[in-house]
Chains A and B, each alone.
Chain A
Amino acid sequence: MAGDVQKLSGGCQCGAVRYKVTGEVGHPHLCHCRMCQKASGNFFLPLIGAAKKDFEWTRGEPAWFHSSKPVRRGFCGTCGTPLAFDTVGDDHIAFTHGSLDDVAAVTPVEQSGVEGRVPFYGHLFELSETRSNRDDLPGGIADISTTNNQHPDHDTDQWEVRGA
């Protein structure tokens, strides 16, 4: 994927923060290090690199947390979605793969920070699979899809954040 010219857009769950990337994206990878795990509450953080000159926040701005002196992590202050990993002073930024509108457009090529990888990682994909089902709710899954406050997976001219 590195080297391909991409036009990619993405943002947080509530839509308060949106971004676009025009230009090459590079080194899509999963980082298993303990800092990426805890920052994202997850087993790893999937990140994609872009030159800062090709990367633009098109709606709102993330909030930032300096997880160490050289690195700050961007997230939506309204809904919490992890959005970016920024080495201060670098001419590249990394954005979170899952915040892309079209997540399948880029395929990770490497795992880094594997000293922190959870021991069961290689077996997650052997687990039994279930489609989304909320029959436990009065309106079922339809009640979620018709009332969800998630921003759609494409840019919008105007957007009023709901659910904050």
Chain B
Amino acid sequence: MTEIHSGGCQCGALRFKVKGPLGEASICHCRMCQKAFGSFYAPLVSVPASSRLVWTRGSLKHFQSSNHASRGFCAECGTPLTYEAPDGIALAIGSFDDPSQIPPGIQFGVEAKLPYTDRMGQIPERVTEDDMEAAPFLASLVSFQHPDHDTDTWPPVRTGANDNE
């Protein structure tokens, strides 16, 4: 049986499936990946030519970050989803429905690695429930995030995209 890896953006307007094995998983610290993801690095997994990537709902918006590379994201909710270059396409690991199954094996772009990144596993930690006192709204929070599995239909309006209320 062909292995299948599914994922999508936060709001669910875009969904994808990879049919077949995933390729190399990495984190890239380069400044372009940092700024594109608003983070310390981009976690990406390549899709080998022998596997098939299918967009099962919606289509990407692209930003050409250089003459060779383009980055795809959801225009409705902003989730960064792809890095596309002449050598192929890579998907943002955090957008997969189960990112825990895609451990990176290598770090790229380490010339831009932040001075504290390697220590980020050692700083104090809390679970979300610990924040109830500071953020009482958490107790009654109803998420508009698409669930971590495919759905037959998904209401496009209910999410409140671009809602400024």
A residues within 8 Å of B by Cβ?
Answer: 12-14, 30, 33-35, 37-46, 63-83, 87-88, 96-99, 103-104, 107-116, 118-125, 127-132, 134, 136-137, 143-144, 147-151, 153, 162-164
Which of B108-123 touch A at CB < 8 Å?
Answer: 108-118, 120-121, 123
Chain B residues closer than 8 Å to A79, beta-carbon distance = 36, 63, 65, 71, 73
In the complex, residue of chain B having the shortest beta-carbon distance to the beta carbon of A14: B63
B10 at the interface (CB under 8 A from A): yes
B70–chain A nearest beta-carbon distance, Å: 8
A4–chain B nearest beta-carbon distance, Å: 16
Residue contact A98 to B10, C-beta cutoff 8 Å = no
B148 at the interface (CB under 8 A from A): yes
Are A68 and B126 CB-contacts (below 8 A) given A42-B39, A96-B39, A149-B65?
no
The complex places the Cα of A162 from the Cα of B123 at a distance, in Å, of 38
Chain A residues closer than 8 Å to B43, beta-carbon distance = 41-43
Residue contact B111 to A131, C-beta cutoff 8 Å = yes
In the complex, residue of chain A having the shortest beta-carbon distance to the beta carbon of B121: A122
A11–chain B nearest beta-carbon distance, Å: 8
Chain A residues closer than 8 Å to B105, beta-carbon distance = 127
Residue contact B128 to A113, C-beta cutoff 8 Å = yes
A-B contact count (CB 8 A): 285
Are A115 and B36 CB-contacts (below 8 A) given A125-B121, A137-B86?
no
B100 at the interface (CB under 8 A from A): yes
Residue contact A164 to B77, C-beta cutoff 8 Å = no
Contact of B37 among A38, A81, A122, A143 (CB under 8 A): A81
The complex places the Cα of A26 from the Cα of B141 at a distance, in Å, of 24
Residue contact B125 to A111, C-beta cutoff 8 Å = yes
Residue contact A41 to B109, C-beta cutoff 8 Å = no
Contact of A73 among B78, B117, B127 (CB under 8 A): B78
B135 at the interface (CB under 8 A from A): yes
Residue contact B109 to A63, C-beta cutoff 8 Å = no
Are A96 and B38 CB-contacts (below 8 A) given A109-B124, A120-B104?
yes
